[in-house]
Amino acid sequence: MSRKRLNFLAVSKKIGKTYRPLLSVVPEGKTDAGIRFASHAIGLVPQFEVEAARIKANIRLDEWYRLDRMERALIIAHARLERAIDNHSTAAQTETAKREADREAAKHKPRGRR
């Protein structure tokens, strides 16, 4: 029997009865603005994303480059996961608000004549 390999940082989302890696799940009702971070080569992290993660972690530029490469990678991965979690939370809140609005509208919907 093969063991299921844990996804990076073991962050997953339950879809039906299975758990999938969070970064591979597209939130329902997602809006795409068409903005993409450009990378200079496959496998490289876009510079804008590096700087955004560094600033969010409140690390000065000189401190950043003194960090080990793996520490920087973990900070960037953490920023990506936080962004994904925020996106999924927003999608869930939007879906909940939509269900409540539909339920409220159904209460006030005119009924047929009796």
The tens-digit pLDDT sequence of the chain (114 residues) is: 445 555 556 677 777 888 777 777 777 666 666 666 667 777 788 888 999 999 999 999 999 999 999 999 999 999 988 988 888 888 888 888 888 888 888 887 777 665
Phi, psi angles (nearest 5°) of residue 48: -60, -40
Burial class (CB in 10 A: 0-12, 13-18, 19+), 54: buried
- Helices vs. strands in the chain: H and E counts, helices first: 3, 2
Q: Is-above-0.75 flag for pTM?
A: no
d(CA 99, CA 2): 41
